[in-house]
Each structure stands twice: as structure tokens, then as C-alpha cells.
């Protein structure tokens, strides 16, 4: 009996020891890590299916000009927040008459207390956008009235109550609330930032979003590819592969009602938690007169003006002691481009004693080892990597590749303790295929000339000249830059703890909500990685 107890105790001690070891969260200081590939779980083969228009979560629930699709976005600093919503019905068909955006005013009433009345009022602007296809048989779309109102003079880390709409109709929303970001400073951070990419509007995406809500984010970043409305024709027929199913359409069609469905589904989260979006390739949505990104640019509010960007396609903002830079991959990015000049100015203005963390995001990844989109945006990497590295960007989030991957610290394809950590979260659950093939599997390495994204043009993806893959276009094993990769759907949470430590956790949809699929402390080392700004000749004059 005693010996039984004794061995049970030993077992318990061993178990505790094992779990303590197991629980120790690795840090980037322990890296670089030998590459890990979690084998694809065949039970996840089931297709991601779009939520249909009959689903109550995507149907129009309001009457008349009552607000719907309510969402929040941050301005550039904690003291200002954007509130957006839509009034009136969108139309799709052969004879549409756009609504007059002046018909309904854009008013937000808000305050720190909800009773007896919301004391403050802010007014904004409204617009309507069209998606026009002047081709035989194609239908045109015109949106409801989109309202954007910017609240200013807000206090940090404070809950505000608000309702939006037009009190004169009257058509006004319920009362919602949100919390402002903490003041910017080295000891001040939002607790949890949700990071998602390539969402679409599938049943799997609804799982991603409910897990994300379960993790109680203070802020959400969406790294491009929002609704996948461009997998549809204007008559509502769709396919998981547009080019395969509809090779002969006169223009790449879209079904803009999917945007309205998405806005309705997301309201539950984004009427309370700000969402910051950067465009992906699915937002291009070309239409008449070569117009692009119209739904994206019209539906969301961006702190572009506040961050001195001339475009909705790139901008920056602060969340506590983090400076976020949202970069546009599908717009000119090289040294001669407006975006590059803006980026140089924005980086030069970052004060790391106030925002120690510098995080950049854009849609297509530079460092991915999956076969899908392998080295597709090398021209962008060649054009921008040195600038970002010279300012010591800490973390880079990407989407586009429909899987999860985390890199070791890397710069110019060489492991470098001062390079950023790259994290791909294109695993939101959209209906296109999940990326499960790796470029390093024999027979998978693409022919270099086929790799550039045709939309972006250029060709920069030459064979490696140094390292274990020198002379070749692909590695013959998981590349050293790739620390962890797994093909599953999920979302990530970034928890910045102080000016040097941040906890990154990736959650898989098939797990319970508090089980981590991948977890690491990302640790900054400003002492060994000083910032040496790359200053381009002549940029002062461009200012």
C-alpha cells in the first residue's frame, strides 16, 4: 500500500515536472528554432462553405433608414475613434437609382455615461458607392448610404456609450459601447489584439470569429481579403475558383451584396471592438473606368488623413505603446512611389521611447514556405525590406496564404537576431482551398518565371545565392527561416506585456478556446539592435 502511494507520488511529481517543462513558453531569445511542420490533419479536408443569403445572421434586420452594419475603427491616436454604419437598402439590377447620401444625416450621440442622456454629439459625412458593369447581361450595384463619423477629444482607456443614426427621421441605433486605447507610452498597452486574415464569410469563418470573440480582443486587425464577393457573378452564382468556373466573363465580376452580408455578420463584434483593415487582392474589384478598391475604400473608415497618408490603401496608427503600419501591396511601393515616401516619413516620425513596438502588416507574405503564392511578391520585398529593417520593425503580420506560419527572425533570407518575426495568418476560413503543400516537397518547387503575382508585374524572384539552398529556387527541406507551420484555420492574439516582451498565441478552430496551437514570447533587444534609419537621397525635399 505504502509503496503504491509512494509510486503514485513519484508519478505525480514527474507529471508536474513534465507539465511545468511543457508549460514554459519559448521566447525568441531561445531561437532560432529548428523548423517544425505539424502534419495536415486529414479530418479537416471538409470544404469551407459560404454562409448563404438565407442565413438570419446576414439578412437585413432593420427597417427604413435605421442604421445597420455598425463598425468602429481607430484614428491615429487614442483620443479619436471612427464610427461607421449604413442606412437604406442597397440595390442590384438593371435599372438602379443611387440613393442621395444627403437624405440621411450622420450623427453620433455619445458619452461616458449612458443615462440620463448621452451628452455629446458628433457629425460626419455620408456617401454612396456604385459597382458598375456596363456589359451585356451584367447587373450594377449601388450601396446603401454609408456614414462615417469621427469622435475626437476622447479620454484613454475609457468606456464610451454611443448611438448613431439620424435623430430627425427618427432612425437611430440602440446604445453600444467601446473602450478607447490606452495612452501611448512604454508601459501602456491594449491587453489583447486579435489578428485575422483571409476571412470571407463561410461557416468556418463564423467559427474563427466566435473563438476570437471568446478571447475578448480590445482591437482587431484584418490583414486583407475580407468578403470574397469576387468569387461571385453579378447574378449571385459563385465558385471556389472564379477563373476555373468563369473563364470568359468580360470583366472579373463581383456580387456586392456579400459585403452587406459581411457587415451584418460582423456587427456583433465590430460595433464594440475597433477593427483595422488593410486591403488584400480580393478587394481590388475592378469596375468601369479602371476604378479599384471601391467597396473597401468606401465601407471602412481609415485614419489616413490623421496619419498623413494620401490613400485609404496605406496608413498608420498607435495603440498604446505600439505603432502599427498598414502597407498596401497592390499599389505602387518602390522608392519612386508616394507610398514609399509616406512610409519613410512615417517611420522617421516614430518615437520609440513612446511607442517601443513597431509592427507592420500587409497582405501577401515575403517569407512563406507554402507552395501557394511562393515568392510571389519578391519585387515588393526587394523594394521595401531594407527600409523596414533599418527602422527595426519588430513583427510583421501577413495573410494571403491560407494557412499558419511563424518565422525565425530573418532579414534578406538570412537568419538575423535583429530581423522581424514574420507571421502569416491567412487562415481565417475563406472558401478557397487551404494551403497544404510546401514548396520544399520534391516536385513542388514552381518554375521561377511563373511566380510573380501577374497583377503586380515585375520579376525579382531569382535563385538563392547563399545558404543551404544556394543555386536553387526552393529549399529541399523546411527553410531555416520557417520556425513553425501548420495548415489549419484559426486566429491569433498579440499581448504586449512591456517595452520588450510580447506574447503571441495562435488558436486553432478545432481546439477549445483556451488551448494554444502555437505560442511564443517575441522579445525585442533594442540594446543589440540599434535603429539605423535608411535615409533615401532627397526625401527631405519630398516632405
Ligand X SMILES: *[C@@H]1O[C@H](CO)[C@@H](O)[C@H](O)[C@H]1NC(C)=O
Instruction: List interacting residues with ligand X (CB under 6 A).
Output: 44, 46, 48, 94-95, 132, 134, 139-140, 203-204, 233, 235-237, 288, 332, 334-336, 386, 412, 434, 445, 463, 465-466, 471-474, 488-489, 497-498, 501, 509-510
Distance CA 542, CA 342 (A): 10
Helix axes 338-348, 378-390, angle to 10 degrees: 20
* Contact of residue 400 among ligand X, Fe ion, none (CB under 5-8 Å per partner type): Fe ion
Q: Which three cell numbers stand for residue 294?
A: 471601391
* Residue 344 binding Fe ion, by CB under 5 A: no
The 266-295 contact track toward Fe ion, x by CB under 5 A, reads --------------xx--------------
Report how far apart, in Å, the C-alpha atoms of 522 and of each of 24, 181, 361, 498, 516 are: 14, 22, 16, 11, 16
- Contact call for residue 400 and Fe ion (CB under 5 A): yes
Which option in ligand X, Fe ion, none does residue 498 bind, with CB closer than 5 to 8 A by kind?
ligand X
Q: Which residues contact 187 (CB under 8 A, 6 or more apart)?
A: 321, 498, 499
Nearest approach in angstroms of CB 113 to ligand X is 34
Residue 237 interaction partner, one of ligand X, Fe ion, none, beta carbon < 5-8 Å per kind: ligand X
Q: Which of 211, 86, 81, 151 is nearest to 493 (CA)?
A: 211
Cell of 175: 446604445
Residue 77 or 90 with smaller CB distance to ligand X: 90
* In the complex, least distance from residue 490 CB atom to ligand X, rounded to whole angstroms: 8
In the bound state with Fe ion, the residue whose beta carbon lies nearer, of 455 and 540, is 455
Rank residues 102 and 497 by Cβ distance to ligand X and give the closer one: 497
Contacted by 34, from ligand X, Fe ion, none: CB < 5 to 8 Å by type: none
Q: Which residue is nearest to Fe ion (CB)?
A: 400
**210 or 237: whose CB is closer to ligand X?**
237
Region near Fe ion per CB under 5 A, out of 65-73, 140-148, 222-230, 529-537: 222-230
The item of Fe ion, ligand X, none sharing an interface with residue 27, based on CB under 5 to 8 Å by kind, is: none
Q: How far is the CB of 426 from Fe ion (least distance, A)?
A: 7
| Region near Fe ion per CB under 5 A, out of 20-28, 224-232, 317-325, 523-531 | 224-232
Are the CB atoms for 439 and 374 separated by under 8 Å?
yes
Task: Collapse the DSSP code of 310 into the 3-class scheme (helix H, G, I; strand E, B; otherwise coil) and give the result.
Answer: coil
Q: Which does 280 bind (CB under 5 to 8 A by kind): Fe ion, ligand X, none?
A: Fe ion
Of these residues, 211, 373, 402, 438, which one is catalytic?
373
Residue 281 beta carbon to Fe ion: minimum distance, rounded to whole angstroms: 4
Q: CB 142 → ligand X: shortest distance, Å? A: 9
Residue 438 contacts Fe ion per CB under 5 A = no
User: Minimal CB distance to ligand X: which residue?
Assistant: 46
Nearer to ligand X, 199 or 233 (CB): 233
Which is closer to Fe ion, CB of 35 or CB of 280? 280
> Cα(264)–Cα(261) distance, rounded to whole angstroms?
5
Least CB distance from residue 215 to ligand X, whole Å? 17
Separation CA 200–CA 48 (nearest Å): 10
Site for Fe ion in 9-38 (CB under 5 A): none
Q: Which does 415 bind (CB under 5 to 8 A by kind): Fe ion, ligand X, none?
A: none
Nearest-angstrom CA–CA distance, 404 and 422: 11
Residues 6+ apart with CB under 8 A from 524: 356, 357, 394, 499, 500, 501, 502
CB of 414 to ligand X, least distance (A): 7
Burial class (CB in 10 A: 0-12, 13-18, 19+), 350: buried
Site for Fe ion contains 394 (CB under 5 A): no
What is the nearest approach in angstroms of Fe ion to the Cβ of residue 318?
A: 27
Q: Of ligand X, Fe ion, none, which one does residue 533 interact with (CB within 5 to 8 Å by kind)?
A: none
- The yes-or-no answer on residue 373 being catalytic is yes
Who contacts 514 (Cβ-Cβ below 8 Å, separation ≥6)? none
426 within 8 A of 402, measured Cβ to Cβ: yes
User: What's 417-482 look like in SS3?
Assistant: CCCCEEEEECCCCCCCCCCCCECCCCCCCCCHHHCCCCCCCCCCCCCCCCCCCCCCCCCCCCCCCE
**In the complex with Fe ion, which residue's Cβ is closer, 192 or 363?**
363
| Dist. CA 247–CA 254, nearest whole Å | 14
Q: Is 225 in the site for Fe ion (CB under 5 A)?
A: yes
Our CB check for ligand X shows the closer of 134 and 170 to be: 134
**Among Fe ion, ligand X, none, what does residue 94 contact (CB within 5–8 Å per kind)?**
ligand X
Q: Would you report the helix, strand and coil content of the chain in percent, each value rounded to 5?
A: 20, 25, 55
Nearer to Fe ion, 184 or 281 (CB): 281
3-class DSSP state of 348: helix
Distance between CA 414 and CA 32 in Å, rounded? Answer: 11
CA-closest candidate to residue 510, choices 489, 486, 484: 489
Write down the least CB distance from residue 285 to ligand X, Å: 15
Minimum CB distance to ligand X smaller for 3 or for 336: 336
Buried/exposed code over 152-161 (b: 16+ C-beta within 10 A; e: otherwise): eebebeeebb
Distance (Å, rounded) from C-alpha 475 to C-alpha 495? Answer: 33
Instruction: Report how far residue 395's alpha carbon sits from residue 420's, in angstroms, rounded to the nearest whole number.
Output: 5
Minimal distance, residue 150 CB to ligand X, in Å:
31
281's contact among ligand X, Fe ion, none, with CB below 5 to 8 A by partner kind, is Fe ion
Distance separating alpha carbons of residues 176 and 271, to the nearest angstrom: 7
Positions that interact with Fe ion (CB under 5 A): 225, 280-281, 400
Which residues are catalytically annotated? 373
Amino acid at each position: 500500500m505504502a509503496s503504491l502511494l509512494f509510486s503514485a507520488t513519484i508519478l505525480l511529481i514527474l507529471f508536474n515536472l513534465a507539465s511545468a517543462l511543457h508549460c514554459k513558453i519559448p521566447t525568441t531569445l531561445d531561437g532560432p528554432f529548428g523548423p517544425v511542420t505539424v502534419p495536415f490533419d486529414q479530418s479537416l479536408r471538409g470544404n469551407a462553405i459560404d454562409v448563404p443569403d438565407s442565413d438570419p445572421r446576414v439578412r437585413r434586420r432593420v427597417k427604413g433608414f435605421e442604421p445597420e452594419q455598425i463598425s468602429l475603427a481607430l484614428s491615429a491616436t487614442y483620443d479619436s475613434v471612427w464610427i461607421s454604419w449604413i442606412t437604406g437598402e442597397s440595390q442590384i439590377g438593371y435599372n438602379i437609382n443611387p440613393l442621395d447620401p444627403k437624405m440621411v444625416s450622420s450623427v453620433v450621440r455619445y458619452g461616458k455615461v449612458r443615462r440620463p442622456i448621452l451628452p455629446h454629439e458628433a457629425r460626419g459625412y455620408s456617401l454612396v458607392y456604385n459597382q458598375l458593369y456596363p456589359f451585356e447581361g451584367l447587373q450594377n450595384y449601388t450601396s446603401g448610404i454609408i456614414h462615417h463619423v469621427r469622435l475626437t477629444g476622447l479620454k484613454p482607456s475609457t468606456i464610451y456609450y454611443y448611438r448613431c443614426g439620424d435623430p430627425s427621421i427618427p432612425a437611430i441605433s440602440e446604445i453600444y459601447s467601446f473602450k478607447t486605447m490606452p495612452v501611448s507610452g512604454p508601459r501602456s498597452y491594449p491587453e489583447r489584439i486579435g489578428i485575422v486574415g483571409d476571412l470571407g464569410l463561410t461557416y468556418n469563418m463564423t467559427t474563427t470569429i466566435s473563438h476570437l470573440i471568446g478571447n475578448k480582443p480590445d482591437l482587431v486587425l484584418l490583414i486583407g481579403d475580407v468578403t470574397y464577393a469576387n468569387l461571385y457573378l453579378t447574378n449571385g452564382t459563385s465558385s471556389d475558383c472564379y477563373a476555373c468556373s468563369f473563364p470568359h466573363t468580360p470583366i472579373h465580376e463581383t456580387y456586392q451584396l456579400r459585403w452587406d452580408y459581411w457587415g451584418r455578420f460582423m456587427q456583433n463584434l465590430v460595433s464594440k471592438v475597433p477593427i483595422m483593415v488593410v486591403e488584400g487582392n480580393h478587394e481590388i474589384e475592378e469596375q468601369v473606368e479602371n476604378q479599384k478598391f471601391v467597396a473597401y475604400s468606401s465601407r471602412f473608415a481609415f485614419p489616413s488623413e490623421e496619419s498623413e497618408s494620401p490613400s485609404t490603401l496605406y496608413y498608420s496608427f498607435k495603440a498604446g505603446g505600439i505603432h502599427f503600419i498598414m502597407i498596401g501591396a497592390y499599389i505602387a511601393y518602390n522608392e519612386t512611389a508616394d507610398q514609399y515616401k509616406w512610409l519613410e516619413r512615417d517611420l522617421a516620425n516614430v518615437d520609440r521611447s513612446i511607442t517601443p513596438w513597431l509592427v507592420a502588416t500587409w497582405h501577401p507574405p515575403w517569407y512563406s514556405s507554402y507552395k501557394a503564392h511562393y515568392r510571389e511578391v519578391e519585387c515588393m520585398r526587394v523594394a521595401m525590406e531594407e527600409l523596414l529593417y533599418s527602422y527595426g520593425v519588430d513583427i510583421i503580420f501577413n495573410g494571403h496564404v491560407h494557412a499558419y506560419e511563424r518565422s525565425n527572425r530573418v532579414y534578406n533570407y538570412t537568419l538575423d537576431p535583429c530581423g522581424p518575426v514574420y507571421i502569416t495568418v491567412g487562415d481565417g476560413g475563406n472558401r478557397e482551398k487551404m494551403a497544404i503543400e510546401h514548396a520544399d516537397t520534391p516536385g513542388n518547387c514552381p518554375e521561377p518565371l511563373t511566380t510573380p503575382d501577374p497583377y503586380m508585374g515585375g520579376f525579382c524572384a531569382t535563385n538563392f545565392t547563399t545558404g543551404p539552398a544556394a543555386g536553387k529556387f526552393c529549399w529541399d527541406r523546411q527553410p531555416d527561416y520557417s520556425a513553425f507551420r501548420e495548415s489549419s484555420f484559426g486566429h491569433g492574439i498579440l499581448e504586449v506585456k512591456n517595452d520588450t516582451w510580447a506574447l503571441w498565441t495562435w488558436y486553432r478552430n478545432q481546439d477549445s478556446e483556451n488551448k494554444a496551437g502555437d505560442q511564443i514570447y517575441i522579445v525585442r533587444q533594442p540594446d543589440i539592435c540599434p535603429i539605423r534609419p535608411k535615409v533615401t537621397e532627397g526625401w527631405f525635399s519630398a516632405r
